Structure 1
């Protein structure tokens, strides 16, 4: 019951440049009760974050205009409380200490099942 209540009030900023993946992720998260603001690049997502707060940034790493690592750095500068989850086929990139990704960021490697994504998002937001 707490998971449902938690998700009702949680806004997720999604940055994913792959149209199909962005659509699937948005639908899965909305079906789980989250409010999702989807964007196709990091710069658009960052501009949206400057307009309103979000509980979670869910971002791909490799994107045009601003990659997910830079987006996460800027997002945590704007809002130190925002939680960050990377979705990527390049987990080693996210985990590389040289890129200065937020230390508490979670990494979910592609491919993953949408149920796993929802469970990880709920777990991260509940922490």
Structure 2
């Protein structure tokens, strides 16, 4: 099963995203800030970091960069409601996907599915 680490400081959004991904067959661990994600990355295996960009303490870009150092093959998807931040994310982590708010939960699940299509098709996961 594909494991997703979700970092989102908005409680309602975090619960919404977690439920939608779990209903689609993903295992989700959710935290409310980037600094809370680091210990999980050290102790557990994740296939995808799904992170909001604008969060207190540590923003999603810094979290993704730290996570990339810790887990080189970790995939990253940013979610944000700020266009300027989207550009910054693209420059900082060009291999990451960026999903702009507002988005439909179905679109999020489709994007995550696309990220893992090749593994599903080849049976690597």
**So what's the TM-score if we normalise by structure 2?**
0.89
* Secondary structure in structure 2 of the residue aligned to 1:50: helix
Match status 1:56 vs 2:53: no
Structure 2's unaligned 5+ residue stretches are 119-125
Match status 1:10 vs 2:2: yes
Structure 1's unaligned 5+ residue stretches are 1-8
**The one of 70, 91, 96 aligned to 1:78:** 70
Alpha-carbon distance between aligned partners in 1 of 2:57 and 2:43, rounded to the nearest angstrom: 19
**The one of 20, 38, 44 aligned to 2:12:** 20
Question: After the TM superposition, which of the residue ranges 41-50 and 15-24 deviates more from structure 2?
Answer: 41-50
Question: After the TM superposition, which of the residue ranges 45-54 and 104-113 deviates more from structure 2?
Answer: 45-54
Which residue does the alignment assign to 1:39? 31
1:43-81: per-residue Cα shift (whole Å, max 9, x none)? 001221111120000000011111100000001111110
**The one of 102, 116, 122 aligned to 1:125:** 116
Quickly say closer, same or farther: Cα 1:71–1:100, change in 2 above 3 A. Answer: farther
Quickly say closer, same or farther: Cα 1:53–1:20, change in 2 above 3 A. Answer: same
* Secondary structure in structure 2 of the residue aligned to 1:14: strand
Runs of 4+ aligned residues of structure 1 deviating over 6 Å after TM superposition are: none
Tell me the CA shift for residue 100 of structure 1: 5.5
* Secondary structure in structure 1 of the residue aligned to 2:92: coil
Alpha-carbon distance between aligned partners in 2 of 1:91 and 1:36, rounded to the nearest angstrom: 26
* Alignment: residue pair count: 118
Alpha-carbon distance between aligned partners in 2 of 1:12 and 1:123, rounded to the nearest angstrom: 14
Tell me the CA shift for residue 94 of structure 1: 3.2
